[in-house]
Amino acid sequence: MFCNGDNRPPNCGKDCQCVHTVDIPLNAIVEVVLVDEVQSPNLSHPFHLHGYSFHVVGIGRSPDQNVKKINLKHALDLDRKGLLHRHFKLPPLKDTIAVPNNGYVILRFRADNPGFWLFHCHFLFHIVIGMNLVFHVGTQHDLPPVPEGFPKCGDHLPPIMFL
């Protein structure tokens, strides 16, 4: 089952287990803001994006000394006020970034590689509990043709021998 922030399958209960997808038009500029709201000292979540490298245009902790715990709303408010540190001149290019404890990361990439791309925390337990999503870039029409002779489901299995 697929879902997103706006839509959940009708038969998905309280603890809905669905694949969270974000649809992205081909060649769009995508900006992602990651915020670590958990107060676990010495724990930074390493997030990895398959199929892309991204520019890290911002990283840090809240400059607001009155806020003990950052959350997404607070980070976005600070960003609108121009208070989050951003660097656009030669931002580092990565495919994995650690989100600082009680901090934020802002990353950007051009969605020029059509397909379904996993974005996830690299801690296995966090993937299992849902700290991942799929970026669906482009449409079926944007995907390249399947190469001739490309394996299909079951091609790797040896033939079943009956005695």
Contact 110, 27 (CB under 8 A): yes
Tell me the CATH number at 113.
Answer: 2.60.40.420
Number of structural domains in the chain: 1
Tens digits of residue pLDDT in 38-70: 766 677 889 999 999 999 999 988 776 776 778
Is residue 154 in some structural domain? no
Is residue 11 in some structural domain? yes
Instruction: Look up the domain containing 13 and give its range.
Output: 2-142
Is residue 98 in some structural domain? yes
Contact 135, 119 (CB under 8 A): yes
Is residue 160 in some structural domain? no
Is residue 37 in some structural domain? yes
Tens digits of residue pLDDT in 19-44: 788 999 999 999 999 988 776 667 78
Predicted TM-score (pTM) above 0.75: yes
Is residue 152 in some structural domain? no
- One-letter amino acid for residue 152 of the chain: K
